[in-house]
Amino acid sequence: MQLPPKVWFKIEKLKAWWRSTFGETNKTYDTSHQMCPVCRALVTRGTKVCPHCGARIGPRRARGGAASDRIMGVIPMPTSATSILAAAIVLMFLVEWFMTQRAGGSQGGGLFGGISGMVMLRLGAKFGPLIYAGQWWRLVTAMFLHAGLLHIGLNLWVLLDLGPEVEGLFGMSKFIVLYLVTGVFGYLVSLWWSPMGLSIGASGAIMGLIGILIGVTFHHGHLGKEYRSMLWRWVIYVVIFGLFFPVDNAAHMGGLAAGIVLGYLIPEGAPETRPAENLWNALAIISVVIIAGSFALMALQINNPIFYR
């Protein structure tokens, strides 16, 4: 029995990931086919109309080689929403570093650490007393802050690796909503577990991405089970890492749990009906407005005298 195009493509994508992860890198990239942007079936490159769903397929820019879809041949090229999130994280880190230098330099970490705690607080770190005082937006802004180069480097590495995978499975609109929801839920769990703790980082949302992929695998039989086992090993590594380093384990577990539930319940792929497409587009717009509004509220209070007492 012939598999549906979507299922066949996902199986081939998982096989390609498995080969690239475990060392089977001697195969060249197949440039004779491309993916339909609507149904995700593989069609002959140059096809103008998808034979499976009838969608028009526009020209794609040449990548120029087998490894050119990876940054420095290692990190996968991110898709659009992932790119924007990564750029926002880098921008906020530059702001953190600049403000720390103006305040007297880095603290205790040299090259790999040292963002001032006061700077983190001013720029929107998660901190219970201020959140309970009405600064709910800290649950969002904290996702874009990091404590040092090692912190941001690890998170960007995983985001650029898993972000395109999740965005490819669900589409841009769903991805934006899922990233925000899992990240905020992670910080809500952190707020409940440690209301007085100061916390920052994208790792709650990134654990949400791992959880989403785990949730998806339950719909893909034996192959999904194998992929899920690999993802659970990632989770174990993160937990072990958290035992020896001062990370927000509550945010990690909260983001992971939210991701598993959402990945299992939300259908993969682009919305199949116009009302569903409109709904997800509206939710994505609301998510972007929440993120932008949170940063606007942060900017309005950044020089609040409370930070200088």
Which one of 190, 203, 287, 294 is the catalytic residue?
203
Position 116 scores a pLDDT of: 87
E strands within the chain? 33-35, 42-44, 70-71, 75-76, 126-127, 198-199
Radius of gyration of the chain (CA): 21
Position 59 scores a pLDDT of: 47
Cα gap 211→217, rounded to integer Å: 10
Which one of 146, 173, 252, 294 is the catalytic residue?
252
Which residues on neighbouring strands pair with residue 70, listed in sequence order? 76
Cα gap 270→116, rounded to integer Å: 42
Which residue ranges of the chain lie beneath pLDDT 70? 1-43, 45-46, 55-79, 105-113, 305-309
Position 67 scores a pLDDT of: 42
Which residues on neighbouring strands pair with residue 199, listed in sequence order? 126
Is there a catalytic annotation at residue 83?
A: no
| CATH architecture entry for 89-308 | Up-down Bundle (1.20)
Position 247 scores a pLDDT of: 85
Position 125 scores a pLDDT of: 95
Is there a catalytic annotation at residue 146?
A: no
pLDDT in tens, 232-244: 888 888 888 777 7
Cα gap 31→42, rounded to integer Å: 11
Buried b (16+ CB within 10 A) or exposed e, 100-119: beeeeebbeeeeeebbbeeb
Cα gap 121→85, rounded to integer Å: 21
Which residues on neighbouring strands pair with residue 56, listed in sequence order? 49
Position 66 scores a pLDDT of: 41
Domain ranges for the chain: 89-308
